Amino acid sequence: MRIGLVVDSACDLPPEFIARHKIQILPITIHLDGQDLVDQRDPETTLRFYRERLGARGDAGSSPFSVEQIRDVFLRKLVLDYDFVFCLTIASSRSPIHANATQASFAILRDYKPIRAQAGIPGPFALRVIDTQNLFVAQAISAVEIVRLIEAGTANPNKIRERAEFIVQNTYGYMVPRDLHYLRVRGQKKGDRSVGWVGAALGTMLDIKPIVRGYRNETGPVAKLRHFDDACARLFAYAEERVRAGLLTPTLGLCYGGDLAEMRALPGYENLVRTCSEHGVERIESMMSVTGGINVGAGALGLAFAAEPHEAEI
Average pLDDT, stretch 127-138?
98
- pLDDT at site 310: 94
Domains of the chain with bracketed CATH: 3-169 (3.40.50.10170), 171-306 (3.30.1180.10)
Average pLDDT, stretch 233-250?
98
- pLDDT at site 18: 97
In this structure, the dihedral spanned by the alpha carbons of residues 220, 92, 295 and 143, taken in order and rounded to 10 degrees, is: 100
Quick one: residue 244, left, alpha or beta (phi over 0 = left, psi -120 to 50 = alpha)? alpha
pLDDT at 23 over 80: yes
- pLDDT at site 198: 36
Model confidence at 57, pLDDT cuts 50, 70, 90, reads low
- DSSP-assigned letters across all residues of the chain: --EEEEEETTS---HHHHHHTTPEEE-EEEEETTEEEEE---HHHHHHHHHTTGGGSTT-EEEEPPHHHHHHHIIIIIHHH-SEEEEEES-TTT-THHHHHHHHHHHHHHHHHHHHHHTT--S--EEEEEE--S-THHHHHHHHHHHHHHHTT---HHHHHHHHHHHHHTEEEEEE-S-HHHHHHHHHHTT--SS-HHHHHHHHHHTEEEEEEEETTEEEEEEEEESHHHHHHHHHHHHHHHHHH--SSSEEEEEESS-HHHHHTSTTHHHHHHHHHHTTPEEEEEEPPHHHHHHH-TT-EEEEEE-SS-----
Average pLDDT, stretch 12-31?
95
Model confidence at 170, pLDDT cuts 50, 70, 90, reads very high
Average pLDDT, stretch 141-162?
97
pLDDT at 59 over 90: no
55 or 298: which carries more pLDDT confidence? 298
Model confidence at 71, pLDDT cuts 50, 70, 90, reads very high
Percentage of the chain lying above the pLDDT 90 cut: 79
Model confidence at 62, pLDDT cuts 50, 70, 90, reads confident
Model confidence at 61, pLDDT cuts 50, 70, 90, reads confident
Say how far apart CA 243 and CA 62 lie, in whole Å: 34
Average pLDDT, stretch 243-254?
98
Task: Using the CB atoms, write b or e for 25-39: b if 16+ within 10 Å.
Answer: bbbbbbebeeeebeb
| Burial bucket for residue 230 (CB in 10 Å: 0-12, 13-18, 19+) | middle
Model confidence at 8, pLDDT cuts 50, 70, 90, reads very high
pLDDT at 56 over 80: no
- pLDDT at site 202: 45
What is the overall mean pLDDT for the chain? 92
Given a contact cutoff of 8 angstroms between Cβ atoms, the answer to whether 212 and 220 are in contact is yes
Average pLDDT, stretch 16-23?
97
- pLDDT at site 162: 98
Per-residue model confidence as pLDDT tens digits over 173-215:
999 999 887 777 666 566 555 544 435 444 555 588 999 999 9
53 or 252: which carries more pLDDT confidence? 252
Average pLDDT, stretch 18-27?
96
| Burial bucket for residue 173 (CB in 10 Å: 0-12, 13-18, 19+) | buried
